[in-house]
């Protein structure tokens, strides 16, 4: 990850081309897949409609398991978008990885950068805290978050909230980043370190395939875990444990 990055400043903020391009591509894929799958919706679903209905019911069931019906309905769109975006992002880097001539990686999983993962975690937690405040009122929300089950647990509860943020973001980032890094390591150092590497070049193929399959699995699991943890946090913070 000591790769150079292509950065530019705009309105006093620093942007990173690699993340922007990857995020936009992932979102474009999500939108295109959604449009393709939802053409000609009918009460009697076809194959494509079944697929998107299955996806939607899957994310809704994650949320329904944690939250009361009213909140689950409110939160359904966020969970659906989050899961769809995460699963596309996580898997994208395994299939598409583009490195420019200047050594800058322009295309990878957006979730393989800590900033992106943390941004998504912050967004989820802001929503969770917001719903908590809305449900319990500011006083009830603070009491529920900091003084439950006993008031002397205040320090532990503060640490827990910070840990929630770190675990949510770094779990996602770490899994996806590690998956991609190992793929790159196998490819660059084992299979083709600038020249033909004898038996290792041949042996690298099954290793790469196995790890790629495992990473695909991990990417799906991480998207699922991220959504389920978000709904768990919402449930916790709004007192619906």
Partner 1 sequence: MFGLTTLAAEKIPIGNSVFIIISFLALMYILKKVAYGPVTKTLDDRAAKISNDIDGAEVARQEAENLAVQRQSELADTRQKATQVVADAKASAQKQSDTLISTASDRATLISQRAQTDAEKLKEDAILNAKNDVAALSVAIASKLMQKELSLNDQQALIDAYISDLETK
Which residues in this chain contact partner 1 in the complex, by CB under 8 A?
Answer: 1-2, 5, 7, 9-11, 13-16, 19-20, 23-24, 27, 30-31, 34-35, 37-38, 41-43, 45, 49, 52-53, 56-57, 76-78, 80-81, 84-85, 110, 113-116, 118-120, 122-123, 170, 173, 177
Q: Which is nearer to partner 1, 94 or 117 (CB)?
A: 117
Measured from the CB of residue 143, what is the shortest distance to partner 1 in angstroms?
29
Residue 144 vs 222, nearer CB to partner 1:
222
Q: How far is the CB of 227 from partner 1 (least distance, A)?
A: 14
Residue bearing tokens 């992002």 = 89
CB 92 within 8 A of CB 197: no
- Which tokens go with 194? 């600038």
Q: Which is nearer to partner 1, 80 or 233 (CB)?
A: 80
Instruction: CB nearer to partner 1: give 144 or 164.
Output: 164
Which two three-digit tokens encode residue 181?
């890094």
Q: How many CB atoms lie within 10 A of CB 50?
A: 11
Residue among 221, 239, 234, 190 nearest 75 (CA): 234
d(CA 34, CA 1): 33
Task: Classify residue 199 as exposed, middle or buried by CB count within 10 Å of its CB (0-12, 13-18, 19+).
Answer: exposed
């Amino acid at each position: 990850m000591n790769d150079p990055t292509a950065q530019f400043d705009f309105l006093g903020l620093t942007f990173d081309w690699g993340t922007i391009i990857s995020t936009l591509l992932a979102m474009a894929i999500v939108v295109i897949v959604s449009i393709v799958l939802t053409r000609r919706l009918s009460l009697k679903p076809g194959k494509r409609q079944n697929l998107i209905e299955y996806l939607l019911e899957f994310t809704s069931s994650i949320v329904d398991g944690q939250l009361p019906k009213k909140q689950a309905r409110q939160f359904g769109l966020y969970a659906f978008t989050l899961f769809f975006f995460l699963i596309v992002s996580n898997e994208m880097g395994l299939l598409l990885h583009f490195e420019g001539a200047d050594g800058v990686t322009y295309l990878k999983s957006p979730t393989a950068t800590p900033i992106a993962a943390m941004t998504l975690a912050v967004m989820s937690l802001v929503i969770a805290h917001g719903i908590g405040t809305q449900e319990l009122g500011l006083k009830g929300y603070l009491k529920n978050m900091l003084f439950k089950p006993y008031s002397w647990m205040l320090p532990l509860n503060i640490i827990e909230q910070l840990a929630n943020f770190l675990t949510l973001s770094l779990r996602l980032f770490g899994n996806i980043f590690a998956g991609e890094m190992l793929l790159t390591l196998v490819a660059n150092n084992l299979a083709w370190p600038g020249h033909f590497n004898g038996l290792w070049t041949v042996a690298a193929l099954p290793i790469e395939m196995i790890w790629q399959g495992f990473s695909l699995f991990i990417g799906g699991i991480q998207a699922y875990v991220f959504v389920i943890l978000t709904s768990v946090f919402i449930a916790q913070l709004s007192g619906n444990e």
